[in-house]
Amino acid sequence: MQTNNKKIKVLIVDDSAVVRQTLSSIFQSDPDIEVIDTAVDPYFAAQKIQTEIPDVITLDIEMPRMDGLTFLKKIMSQHPIPVVIISSLTAEGSLTAIKALEYGAVEIITKPQLGTKAFFEESKIRLCDVIKAAAQANLRKKIISYSPIDVKPKLSADAVLAKVNSNSMIKTTDTVISVGASTGGTEALSVFLQALPADTHGIVVVQHMPELFTKSFANRLNELCKITVKEAENGDTVFPGRALIAPGNKHMLLRRSGARYYVEVKDGPLVNRHRPSVDVLFRSTAQYAGSNAIGIIMTGMGDDGAKGLLEMKESGAKTIAQDEKSCVVFGMPKEAIKLDAADHILPLDKIAPFIIKLK
């Protein structure tokens, strides 16, 4: 929610009249958001920005005259403004989405090829939440609050995995690093994972990200990192030198069979309005790894992962929260810190060195 009476000014850039009209209607229905204008392509958008600078821009990728990625790069190099990509990106186009995030987009929302208007209406809350969060983004790097519209109850990790009070985990020499991130997390994870040596403890990651994009994200990190990075598949083993990233639209849980850690990838209800949910991963890590684990909560809007990190700490795990200055959005780490769930609060570039010293 806004802390003052100033509305968030939004410029909608999309070549579809239906999309422009539908998004305008949705945003205008929120008392904290004002659509100051719409544009059919980046050239018109550039002209409008000269007249009035918006707080947030929504941007399609595939447009005439100039594509959205080119426009995004120009914005970020000349006059950084929070940008939310809203585009019909397919599996083949998921690398484009990753590039958009690297270029500075705050968030990605995929619209279907068919039934776009109905999809937007059903996604009204998320759309408005993303705009509000984007307005708070720290553009030195790169979201989701809540509007009072009729919605389903916000579910906790109990909806996927019941909490176990006993802590009978036997200490072993195997350590698991469990990481949760949201807005700004693609960059944060890239910085963190690239700084780790090839023999780092096994890593499991939940990054709030649309379905289909996580595979491209994992593949791209795999090319950059010393460790192996892959999109998790059900039953994948967690072992040193490997990071498993939860696939979009699926929960990922850490499991254990004897001395072997592995992941379970499964469907389930939204938890904290997310699937995958950081809380689900962290709870399973607390239950199956206990004091053998290290928990890290990174940049992101909302509170997903805060309670889970506390459960990890209570199970004996070492816990870390990214500090405010290095976060794009200091939401998830802030909530974890409020719960006293973090043993250490560190800037992003200090997390990997700290982990290495723990080995």
- Catalytic residue set: 182, 208, 304
Q: Can you tell me the distance from the alpha carbon of 107 to that of 135, in angstroms, rounded to the nearest whole number?
A: 11
Contact 328, 183 (CB under 8 A): yes
Question: Please, where are the H alpha helices in the chain?
Answer: 17-28, 42-51, 68-78, 94-103, 116-122, 124-134, 185-194, 213-224, 278-288, 306-314, 332-338, 348-358
Q: Sheet holding 56-59: strands in order across?
A: 33-39, 8-13, 56-59, 83-87, 107-110
Cα separations (Å) of 300 from 106, 136, 144, 278, 303?
Answer: 11, 11, 8, 11, 8
Nearest to 315 by CA among 203, 212, 164, 176: 164
Contact 200, 355 (CB under 8 A): yes
Q: Can you tell me the distance from the alpha carbon of 140 to that of 146, in angstroms, rounded to the nearest whole number?
A: 25
3-state secondary structure of 308: helix
- Which residues, in sequence order, are CB contacts of 58 under 8 Å at separation 6+? 10, 11, 12, 13, 14, 23, 83, 84, 85, 86, 131
Q: Can you tell me the distance from the alpha carbon of 185 to that of 354, in angstroms, rounded to the nearest whole number?
A: 19
